[in-house]
Structure 1
Amino acid sequence: MNQSHHDAAAAKQALLARRKSLFWRIHFWAALIASPFTLAAALTGILYIFTPQIEAQLYGALEHVAPSGVMRPLDDSVAAARAAAPAGWALHSVVPAYAAGDTVKATFSPPAKAAEPAAEHAGHNHGMAAPVPAPKRAFGAPSQAITVYVNPYTAEAVGSLVNQERFGSWAKKLHSSLLQGDGWRWMIELAASWLMVMLITGIALWWPRGTQKALPQAGAKGRIAWKQWHAFIGVVLSVMSAIILSTGLTWSKYAGGQIRMATDSLGQAAPKVPRDVQSIAADGAAPLSWQAVWDATRRQAPDGKLQLVAPGGPQGVWSASSADRSQPEKRFDLLLDAYSGQALYYSGWDKQTAFGKATAIGIPFHRGEFGWWNQALLLVFGVGVLFSLVSGWVMFFKRRQPGSLGLPRLLPGAWKSGSLTAWATAAVLLGAMPLLALSALAVVAVEIVLHRRSMAVGSQ
């Protein structure tokens, strides 16, 4: 009986050793692929964290004014914004002043057939713009849009700015695509995909078993110390890592499409604002003014900064939504009749799905929009990621023998040692992240070549 137990224990230890060598190998490949892009993402992400402070210095004179008396009707500010906008540009949306020192922000979209020439004059505030019909209701500022900032107390334009030229827009593009355009977003998505693999395999390698310790040991030096702190920091930041990676992947191009398809099939899609709602013009009824719509919205929606979009025609409806992502619980969509101000559709926080609520909280957290504590956590996370990258490569070069590739040793039978849970997790990750699946095929091809080469060398 004792011999049987001893043999079983030895077999289990051998299985765990093969499995550990497999995890080490996959962990290495994940680090090799993800490291360059992750380094760029971490550095640009740390820069992006401080967007509120940087933009406050750059655009404070546009976004804030000294309160003086009573605010004039919103229609006066909208008229001033129209006069200051480039001729022919269409008013897209308006964010009324919420706090006493806020300006009114009116966003304009360029003419469809002359977007490029008009954009050249976007930074100027001169020229009278003839009123143009309001565009059809749309969500999100269009490409090349400009925002005109108006003092709500004097109804005077204080300046304008091309939205894409804001520091926040530049920093976001730098972080998401390294300023290479949407066609290059795959770089960061590829890094995030392999970082998820690196996180999972890293936790599996760290998990205490037998004499293996969970915490760094005092007195450890050299590669052992680097290894202990590398694992410990990675695990400490694992929850943050999972949140940042998951939220980043939700708006990525390929993995994001897979996630949206899955949420739709599971009934977790966000409520869709209807497109076929119309206003009813009673005999002699006049369309509501901007001020009247603003007042009606404040009566029917949560208190907070909001955005208004005018009707697209006589039967169109007013659209109102939250303009403050730092208060996700006040997120709403409201459609108003253009003549009576009656709510034709309303969807608030209580109508959001569980996935919708998770992303409404997770995405602003990813961007550091919840205030200084959020920024501090992201800064710690970014520095931790940089330490993980540096310490991982320090260990690699300390382990690597001269003249060798430095790949972690793969024990015989390692690829067959994975548990059912491990292979199921791999299947989910590969299915959810197409770029991971494609690049994994390349890794498998390299592994096959290396295996055949080692077999050929061994047979000589």
Structure 2
Amino acid sequence: MTFLIARRKSLYWRIHFWAALIATPFALLATLTGILYIFTPQIETALYGHLDHVAPQRAMLPLDAAVAAAEKAAPRGWAVQNVVPPFQANDAVQVAFAPPGGAADKHAGHGMPVKARPVFGLPAQAIVVYVNPYDARALGTLASGERFGNWAKKLHSRLLQNDGWRWMIELAASWLMVMLVTGVMLWWPRGAQSGWPKRGVRGRNGWRQWHAFLGVALGLISIVILATGLTWSQQAGGRIRTLRDISGQAPPPVPRGLHSSEDANGGPLDWQGAWQVARRHAPAIALQLTAPASQDDVWRATMADRSRPTLRFDLQFDAYSGKPLYYAGWEAQTAFGKATAIGIPFHRGEFGWWNQALLLLFGASVLFSLVSGWVMFFKRRTAGTLGLPKLLPGAWRSPSPLAWLTAACMCALMPLLLISGCMLMLLELALGAHGRWRSMAR
């Protein structure tokens, strides 16, 4: 039994090493860019405070006045996509526009009374015009892709490249999950019994104690960060969404065929009227309004503030009478929907200073774990060798059926892990054959 445990430990240590080797470069980038991203609220307040906020006055003008001012300030031919009315007294009206035919206009916003601002990337498909709700004065315009939060998110998820580069971060998240699982296996049960790292321990043992302790202590946060990151990845995200739908955890479906009934006694709702209807039925949270696309289409309203997921809602109502035709609030969400509605904003640090502080601690711990792992490797490695953890005879046959089932499930959910894992097995076979050849040559 003791030898079986030793064989398993040698295998888990070997896999842990390969996971670190594969994930470290991408994980370092993801962690550093993630730390930058979590400070988005403070950075955007400094950069865009003159656009996002206004000085409160006595009374606001009707929302239609702000939308009309935004249309005059937007590039000619661009269509209103949605409007975010003010929620607080010092909020500006945000009117989003899309270019005709979906073509981005790199000169969007020229001629606007916008203050000097830094540019974070190329203009995206949409621009936002900010309007003072008290005097309907256009404050400025900003391409969606130029806003720091969107730029930082693109940097974090695909290093400012197109979607084809998202595989790098997904590969890192997949192998970081392997690092976490094998790290816990190596730590348990001996590490669990030792508790906090012992004082006065130096050298490689000291590094190992803190490496293991921080990795396990922040394990729950690691699972949340990795799992939520994988939900919006390309390959693993698709598998997760398929399982979600098969298990009946898909978001509540919006009924098809909803339409408005034209009222002979009155015209369609304007922006102000639609805002008043939405406010009566929506929870107390900033909302986003989307106008009907045709005469018989409906108004749509949804939340614009992701920091309060329990107030999530989707509302559709008649464009003439304002009668609600569909409403889905927090109680209508599935367990999976509720979990992601909380987990994803937590991943982004959108729950306030405590969330940001916790993610900063997590990011610093990840950096320490990666660096300390390599410090231990170089302290252990014998000069002139690869320094691979030694595999005991029969190590690959030692895992329990549960361990193999866990590995199979992880590979099924994370295709990049499966592909890279197969390549790693070929490398292991080559290394094993080389080792046997050297033994025979001696």
Fold shared, TM-score > 0.5 on shorter chain: yes
TM-score, normalised to structure 1's length?
Answer: 0.92
| Change in CA separation of 1:18 and 1:182 when aligned onto 2, cut-off 3 Å | same
1:119 aligns with 2:68: no
Give the letter aligned to residue 142 of structure 2: L
Task: Quote the Cα distance in structure 2 between the aligned partners of 1:358 and 1:282.
Answer: 41
1:77 aligns with 2:58: no
1:97 aligns with 2:86: yes
Contact persistence 2:124–2:146 (CA under 8 A): no
1:431 aligns with 2:416: no
1:41 aligns with 2:22: no
- Specify the SS of the correspondent of 1:412: coil
Contact persistence 1:271–1:351 (CA under 8 A): yes
Instruction: Find the partner of 2:48 among 55, 59, 63.
Output: 59
Give the letter aligned to residue 259 of structure 2: Q
- Specify the SS of the correspondent of 1:340: coil
1:169 aligns with 2:150: yes
Name 1:373's counterpart in structure 2: 354
| Change in CA separation of 1:199 and 1:123 when aligned onto 2, cut-off 3 Å | farther
Following superposition, the deviation at residue 69 of structure 1 comes to: 1.2
- Specify the SS of the correspondent of 1:71: coil
Name 2:276's counterpart in structure 1: 295
Name 2:57's counterpart in structure 1: 68
Instruction: Find the partner of 1:244 among 197, 201, 225.
Output: 225
Spell out the pairing of 1:344-423 with structure 2 (5 A cutoff).
344-423=325-404
Instruction: Find the partner of 1:337 among 303, 311, 318.
Output: 318
Contact persistence 2:108–2:143 (CA under 8 A): no
- Specify the SS of the correspondent of 1:161: strand
Task: Quote the Cα distance in structure 1 between the aligned partners of 2:344 and 2:148.
Answer: 19
Task: Quote the Cα distance in structure 2 between the aligned partners of 1:289 and 1:257.
Answer: 39
Q: Provide, for residues 400-424 of structure 1, a one-character-per-residue CA deviation record: whole Å limited to 9, x for no partner.
A: 0111111000000000000111111
Following superposition, the deviation at residue 448 of structure 1 comes to: 0.3
RMSD: 1.4
Name 1:14's counterpart in structure 2: 3
Instruction: Find the partner of 1:451 among 422, 429, 432.
Output: 432
Contact persistence 1:273–1:333 (CA under 8 A): no
| Change in CA separation of 1:85 and 1:274 when aligned onto 2, cut-off 3 Å | farther
Give the letter aligned to residue 46 of structure 1: I
Q: Which 5+ residue runs of structure 1 have no aligned equivalent? A: 1-11, 127-141
Percent identity, please.
Answer: 61
Contact persistence 2:80–2:98 (CA under 8 A): yes
Give the letter aligned to residue 125 of structure 1: M
Q: Provide, for residues 210-262 of structure 1, a one-character-per-residue CA deviation record: whole Å limited to 9, x for no partner.
A: 99734312221100111111000100110110000000000000000000000
| Change in CA separation of 1:285 and 1:210 when aligned onto 2, cut-off 3 Å | closer
Name 1:156's counterpart in structure 2: 137
TM-score, normalised to structure 2's length?
Answer: 0.96
Task: Quote the Cα distance in structure 1 between the aligned partners of 2:41 and 2:77.
Answer: 32
Name 2:118's counterpart in structure 1: none
Task: Quote the Cα distance in structure 1 between the aligned partners of 2:326 and 2:86.
Answer: 24
Following superposition, the deviation at residue 152 of structure 1 comes to: 0.4
Name 1:50's counterpart in structure 2: 39
Task: Quote the Cα distance in structure 1 between the aligned partners of 2:420 and 2:400.
Answer: 22
Instruction: Find the partner of 1:307 among 288, 305, 326.
Output: 288
Q: Provide, for residues 382-436 of structure 1, a one-character-per-residue CA deviation record: whole Å limited to 9, x for no partner.
A: 0000000010000000000111111000000000000111111101100000000
Q: Which stretch of the first structure deviates more once superposed, 255-264 or 283-292?
A: 283-292
Contact persistence 1:207–1:214 (CA under 8 A): no
- Specify the SS of the correspondent of 2:327: strand
1:283 aligns with 2:264: yes
Give the letter aligned to residue 223 of structure 2: A
| Change in CA separation of 1:394 and 1:78 when aligned onto 2, cut-off 3 Å | same
Q: Which stretch of the first structure deviates more once superposed, 172-181 or 435-444?
A: 172-181
Name 2:98's counterpart in structure 1: 109
- Specify the SS of the correspondent of 2:343: helix
- Specify the SS of the correspondent of 2:100: coil
Give the letter aligned to residue 18 of structure 1: R
Give the letter aligned to residue 178 of structure 1: L
Following superposition, the deviation at residue 455 of structure 1 comes to: 1.2
Following superposition, the deviation at residue 123 of structure 1 comes to: 4.4
Give the letter aligned to residue 70 of structure 1: A
Instruction: Find the partner of 1:199 among 176, 180, 186.
Output: 180
- Specify the SS of the correspondent of 1:256: helix
Structure 1 consecutive aligned stretches of length 4 or more whose deviation exceeds 6 Å: none
Task: Quote the Cα distance in structure 2 between the aligned partners of 1:219 and 1:415.
Answer: 37
- Specify the SS of the correspondent of 1:252: coil
Contact persistence 1:86–1:125 (CA under 8 A): no
